[in-house]
Amino acid sequence: MDYFVLTDIVADHGRWAYLADYGYPGLFLAAFLAATVLPFASEGLLGLMVYTGYDPNWCIVVATIGNWLGSLTTYWLGWLGKWEWLEKYFGVKRAKVERTRWYMDQYGVFSALLSWVPVIGDVIAVALGYFRVTFWKVNILFLIGKFARYVVLVYIILGAMKA
C-alpha cells in the first residue's frame, strides 16, 4: 500500500493522527475516545501504526482494551441517566424510551456485541447502562465484540499492505 494513500486514509478517519507519535498510548487514547460519545475514530491511526511497523498483535490488544474501557465509560454514563434528563435535554418522549426498553427486553445483553458499530454503538452502550442490563454480561460481550472488530481490521490492513 502506498504511504500517501495510507496518510489520506488517516486524514479521512481522524484529525488526530498525531497520536501515532505517542505509539501504543496514543492508540489506547484514540480507541478509548472512539468508544465514547465523542466524535472520534481509531481506524486510521490503527492502520498507520500497523503500516509503520508496530506489532499488529499489540495494536489489537491495546486498541481492544482502550475501546472496551471507552464503552464501559459510555455504559456508566447511561447508568447515571435519568428519565427527566432524556426528556428535558434531548427531547426524547416516553414512548420512544418504552420502545427501546422493548428492544432491550427482546435482544438484551447480546446487543453489546454490536457496540463497535459507529454511531449506533454509543447509543447501544448508553441504553444498556440506562436500562441497567447486567454489568458483567455486558462487560464480557463488549470485550468480545471489540476484540473481534480489531482482529478483523488488522487483518484487512495487513492484507491491503500485501496487495
Q: What is the DSSP letter of 18?
A: G
Q: What is the pLDDT of residues 73-111, one digit of tens each?
A: 999 999 998 777 777 777 777 787 777 777 777 777 888
Q: What is the pLDDT of residues 42-61, one digit of tens each?
A: 888 898 899 889 999 999 99
Q: What is the pTM of this model?
A: 0.83
